[in-house]
Amino acid sequence: MFSHVVIFWTKSDRPEAVEELLAGAEKYLRPCPGVLHYHCGQMVGSHRDVVDQSYQVALNLVFEDKAAQDTYQEHPLHVEFVEKVFKPNCERVLVYDFAD
């Protein structure tokens, strides 16, 4: 299994950015071939200091292996998401990839 976790910080001058990011991920990323598990949502606040609360949206995708994730990166739906949704709405992104 290969996990691809993406943390998004949205542009503060775009109040609609979170909703557009969530809707765009659903539209463009969920249907990408090779995605075995899709989970995308908003940051949940916590009283625990160890919980990062600086971001707005997180995405967790699971693939069979790294090769499937590499194919996803070049898929037209992913490219369209980056251009139409990510770039207009996000100021920062952090990615965590790991495999078992």
Query: Tell me, what's the pLDDT at 61?
Result: 98
Name the residue range of residue 19's domain: 2-44+54-95
Q: Is 59 within the bounds of a domain?
A: yes
Query: Tell me, what's the pLDDT at 46?
Result: 97
Query: Tell me, what's the pLDDT at 8?
Result: 98
Q: Is 11 within the bounds of a domain?
A: yes
Q: Is 17 within the bounds of a domain?
A: yes
The two tokens of residue 41 are 């949502």
Query: Tell me, what's the pLDDT at 92?
Result: 97
CATH number of the domain that residue 28 is part of: 3.30.70.100
Q: Into how many domains does the chain fold?
A: 1
> How far apart are the C-alpha atoms of 52 and 28, rounded to whole Å?
26
Query: Tell me, what's the pLDDT at 54?
Result: 97
Q: Is 100 within the bounds of a domain?
A: no
Q: Is 49 within the bounds of a domain?
A: no
> How far apart are the C-alpha atoms of 56 and 41, rounded to whole Å?
9
Q: Is 77 within the bounds of a domain?
A: yes
How many Cα atoms occupy the beta-carbon half-sphere of 14 within 13 Å? 17
- Which stretches of the chain score pLDDT less than 50? none
